[in-house]
Amino acid sequence: MKVLMFTDPMGSLGKTQEEEYEQLKKDLELVLGASVEAEFNVPPWHLKNRSISLYIFDFGGMGIGCSDTVEGMLRELHKAAIEHPDTLFVIWSSFSWDRYKDLMEYELGDAAKLPNVVCFDGWNREVILDWFGIIPETKPKLIVPKVDDGMPE
């Protein structure tokens, strides 16, 4: 699965941006139950003519002028989501998701809501699994050995 990610350059909670990317990749692989091919530091306005399955956007909120910055980026993310209806756009942080909801409510309107833009805050893994049609295994697989009973197959 091809995944593009973008996080703010400040990192978060004592992690550098690179460490944050690696953690996001590990978290995503846990959610999907598979490895992913990830490209980091791809802002939403660099998605033209790109074929991707999943775009992760995680922009914190502690920086100066961050609200204006993230709102501009979320407008670009919304445009990219319109241009890429088969790509799931996951807003990873509650700060960014709250800004996106404000953008929808006060600027774009409810009619502009897109089914391929979702929030992952709080480990809501079903939103990602549902998009890709992944059914998580809830029961262990039973391996039944073949028994030679002398009967033809």
Q: Residue 141: pLDDT band by 50, 70, 90 thresholds? A: very low
- DSSP code at position 12: B
Q: Which of 49, 67, 51, 53 is nearest to 8 (CA)?
A: 67
Quick check: 80 pLDDT over 90? yes
Element (H, E) at 32: helix 17-32
Residue 13: per-residue pLDDT: 65
Using DSSP, state whether 33 is helix, strand or coil: coil
Residue 137: per-residue pLDDT: 63
Residue 135: per-residue pLDDT: 75
Quick check: 147 pLDDT over 70? no
* The CATH number of domain 2-132, selected from 3.30.60, 3.30.870, 3.40.50, 1.20.1730: 3.40.50
How much is the pTM? 0.79
Query: pLDDT, tens digit, for every residue of 84-127?
Result: 999 999 998 888 888 888 888 888 876 678 999 998 765 667 88
Which tops the pLDDT comparison, 46 or 134? Answer: 46
- DSSP code at position 108: I
Spatial distance between the Cα atoms of 95 and 108, rounded to a whole number of angstroms: 18
Residue 96: per-residue pLDDT: 85
The pLDDT > 90 percentage for the chain reads 14
